[in-house]
Amino acid sequence: MQLKTIFLRSIKKGVIFSLLGIAFINCSSNDNLDKPILTNTETPTTPTQPTEPTQPVVNYADINFSNWKVTLPVDENNNGRPDEYKPEDLINFGYQTLTPVQPFMYDDTEDESLVFYTYPETSTTNSSYSRTELRELINPSNSKENWTLLEGGTMKGRLKVTSISEDNNSNNTYHRVIIMQIHGIISEEDMATHGFSSNNGPPLLKIYWKDGYIWSHKKSLIDEATSGDDLLDTSNTIWTDVKQNLGYVGYDIFNFEIIASDARLSVQLNDETPYIYEDVSLDKWRFENYFKAGNYLITTDATAYSYVKYYNLYITH
């Protein structure tokens, strides 16, 4: 009897403990039904805050106007000369706010270029041709202060001719345009010594676009024995152009660099081998100099035009 009683009590206790275990498991399972199950590949995320819409970045040609003035092909102020705007008018994107400048020098933000447009209208005193062209001023307040070959300088730019009128009056298919220059000028010292009425000198170097080819025209003495004050004669009886074809660019973008130094000029198209001038004429060059760049259209045809784009332009001395 005693063993039977103990056995029955053990069975009752086991049943009770089993029922309690089942109840505990069911409660635990119900508590976890609404909880997400995270795996090793899932990470908690935080909600992102709405952002303000960003404005598109507008980029312009890389040209510092601190030492450039621009000459236009028109005379809107009726003073008998082409209109000009000085560095103080152009810097800090000032040219963008000048209504008279905008038809001739303006931005193309699609390709980050500065467009130079010109046509035959008003020309400078010593030329028959019109231009939209930059003129270097190493001293922005004094155009009579310039540099010698001994002092030297470098100009380089990235550019292209985009459109130009056909030439029906010559052997060329299209009109010619000068896109870079080193221009000569008589020094203040020689002006005072000789009493010249004009300080205009000949262009030492002209870089042309001709039917897609880039040509270099460099001034040389007709007679290398010329000396003394005769070297200050600007006429074509003393000086003539020596011409060199530097290569074809068509309407494509190209790079060009001019390096001027003592009795030496280097001109380079893209990555081609630089073409070097070293001669007696450079050694005897009595003029001071300044750089020019832009769109100088060499024609007086009434319907002519040209467009030149610059992407960058740098000068150093």
Rounded to whole angstroms, the Cα distance separating 224 from 277 reads 15
> Could you give the strand order of the β-sheet that contains 213-221, starting from the edge strand earlier in sequence?
84-85, 68-71, 131-136, 288-298, 176-185, 200-210, 213-221, 239-248
Q: Are 181 and 215 in contact (CB under 8 A)?
A: no
DSSP 280: H
Phi then psi for residue 94, to 5 deg, are -60, -30
Parent domain of 252: 62-316
Q: Are 90 and 130 in contact (CB under 8 A)?
A: no
Q: Are 146 and 153 in contact (CB under 8 A)?
A: no
Q: What tokens were used for 204?
A: 């030492």
Rounded to whole angstroms, the Cα distance separating 161 from 139 reads 30
Kindly report, residue by residue over 130-158, the tens digit of the pLDDT.
999 999 999 999 999 999 999 999 999 99
Residue 30 located in a structural domain: no
Residue 18 located in a structural domain: no
Q: State the CATH number of the domain containing residue 196.
A: 2.60.120.200
pTM of this prediction?
Answer: 0.83
Residue 22 located in a structural domain: no
Rounded to whole angstroms, the Cα distance separating 170 from 161 reads 20
Q: What tokens were used for 101?
A: 């400048």
Kindly report, residue by residue over 214-271, the tens digit of the pLDDT.
999 999 999 999 999 999 999 999 999 999 999 999 999 999 999 999 999 999 999 9
Q: Are 109 and 275 in contact (CB under 8 A)?
A: no
Residue 78 located in a structural domain: yes
Is the pLDDT confidence value at 18 over 60?
Answer: no
Kindly report, residue by residue over 67-89, the tens digit of the pLDDT.
999 999 999 999 999 999 999 99
CA–CA distances in Å: residue 279 to residues 150, 224, 262, 264: 14, 9, 11, 8
Domain count across the chain = 1
Residue 45 located in a structural domain: no
Say how many C-beta atoms besides its own lie within 10 A of residue 62's C-beta: 14
Residue 137 located in a structural domain: yes
Say how many C-beta atoms besides its own lie within 10 A of residue 182's C-beta: 25
Residue 115 located in a structural domain: yes
Is the pLDDT confidence value at 32 over 50?
Answer: no
Residue 111 located in a structural domain: yes
| Residues paired with residue 261 on neighbouring β-strands, in sequence order | 264
- 116-136 in b/e burial notation, b at 16+ Cβ within 10 A? bbbbbebbeeeeebbbbbbbb
Kindly report, residue by residue over 168-188, the tens digit of the pLDDT.
999 999 999 999 999 999 999
